[in-house]
Amino acid sequence: MNKKCYAIIGGGINGLAVARQLLLDYPDISVTVFEKEAAVAKHQSSHNSGVVHAGLYYEPGGLKARLCRRGVELVKNYCAENAIPYDECGKVVVALNEEELPRLEAIYNKALANQVPGVCLIGPDKLREIEPNCIGIRALHSPHTAIVSYGQIACRIALEIDERGGTIQLNSPVYRLIEQGNQVLVELESGETYAHSFDYVIACSGLQSDRLARQSGDKATPRIVPFFGQYYVIDEAFKMHVKGLIYPVPDPRFPFLGVHFTKRIDGQMTIGPNAFISLGRENYDGSGISLRDIAEFMAYPGFWKFALRNVSATIREMKTVLSESVFIREAAKYVPSLANVGVVPAVRGIRAQAMESDGSLVDDFVITQQGNITHIRNAPSPGATSSMAIAEYIVREVMSKP
């Protein structure tokens, strides 16, 4: 009997997790991961906050809620088994005024529905016990929200794939997938077709997911519109002013969470991110632009509909992009003692945000199947937290069994 062959497109944490799950569940199959860079985890997997999200914000019953909660369990266990640092530093979502209280209550109710452990609403006295320098009239406390290095996790998974007999093809950018009968051909950007065909392919291509799907015959929407988020590390002398994670109450008028404090697994404290349109899907240092990427979102009607609905948010975020002092001032609303803290630029992430043609942002994970090809079309935050659960879901529920 011929060995079944599976290909994974993308060597980020989601693609690697899928490859690992296939090898765990079906050790006799052949698994090949195609990664365009010279090493794994060079994109979103190593350009993020490192937060292991507990499941506070997600609509109960949706894929995000379900896979986030399962993902936390899997990530925590994986870190313990592989001696990877994992810090349950905890998180507070802080209301500064009465107007924010109903929204805070709504988050609390979602967290309860999602069975987030230990979550509770607290007053200002308890808030000061948890975060002595934080101000607010009420807060939601999530004591088990944690931080990790997803890049470190991804690199360990890559080693495990090799140990289990899988193959990772580096420097192998994929242009499209071609179905021929019951087989799938992998065409590289060079124009060459990979040496042999595959029985099944799972595309986990992040910021390029819509392009690969479209070039492979899947539907054109949703489209990826990239938004960058800049983080800053605060002066070492002030890092203990914040103990864990301090977040604002999200405003439903705006599409993203807003500037917050995030402890890193290396012990440093960061402020960020803002959220603004990126002039390149992979412009991580902010120094270059991609005319192709700009032309693509400028020509997309959904982008303009989104922009017109979010003018005030655009102005707010632009101020934080243009001025470090404005950026710091936004965060210092929660920790006034850091109003004049010095900062240096840290990681810059780019969110692979799927957007519909009507300008709406796709909120839940989107995983589609096209013949013998599965595409992850949308997996923004908590995509890294959920990565191992996404892998379980694809391998055990979406795909046909080997």
Q: Which residues of 342-379 are buried (b: 16+ CB within 10 A; e: fewer)?
A: ebeebbbbbbbbbbeeebebbebbebeebebbbbbbbb
Instruction: For domain 5-47+151-222+363-398, give the CATH number.
Output: 3.50.50.60
CA atoms within 13 A on the CB side of 11: 28
pLDDT for position 303? 96
What are the domain boundaries of the chain? 5-47+151-222+363-398, 91-143, 223-361
N-term to C-term CA, the chain: 12
Q: Which of 340, 342, 337 is nearest to 132 (CA)?
A: 337
The SS3 call for residue 5 is strand
pLDDT for position 256? 74
Residue at token pair 């986030």: 68
pLDDT for position 2? 80
Task: Write the DSSP string, 208-232.
Answer: GHHHHHHHTT--S-SEEEEEEEEEE
β-bridge mates for residue 186, sequence order: 177
Kind and range of the H or E run holding 101: helix 101-113
Tell me which of 3.30.9, 3.30.70, 1.10.10, 1.25.40 is the CATH number of domain 223-361.
3.30.9
Tens digit of each residue's pLDDT, the chain (402 residues):
589 999 999 999 999 999 999 999 999 999 999 999 999 999 999 999 999 999 999 999 999 999 999 999 999 999 999 999 999 999 999 999 999 999 999 999 999 999 999 999 999 999 999 999 999 999 999 999 999 999 999 999 999 999 999 999 999 999 999 999 999 999 999 999 999 999 999 999 999 999 999 999 999 999 999 999 999 999 999 999 999 999 999 987 666 777 899 999 999 999 989 889 999 999 998 888 999 999 999 999 999 999 999 898 888 888 888 888 888 998 999 999 999 999 999 989 999 999 999 999 999 999 999 899 999 999 999 999 999 999 999 999 998 766
pLDDT for position 286? 87
The predicted-structure confidence for 182-199, as pLDDT tens digits, reads as follows: 999 999 999 999 999 999
Question: What is the reported pTM?
Answer: 0.96
Q: Which residues of 97-124 are buried (b: 16+ CB within 10 A; e: fewer)?
A: eeebeeebeebbebbeebebeebebbee
Tokens of residue 337, six digits:
């003692």
**Contact (CB, 8 A) for 375 and 282:** no
pLDDT for position 313? 84
241 vs 132: CA distance, rounded Å = 8
pLDDT for position 1? 54
244 vs 50: CA distance, rounded Å = 12
β-bridge mates for residue 6, sequence order: 31, 200
In this structure, how many other beta carbons lie within 10 angstroms of the beta carbon of residue 265?
17
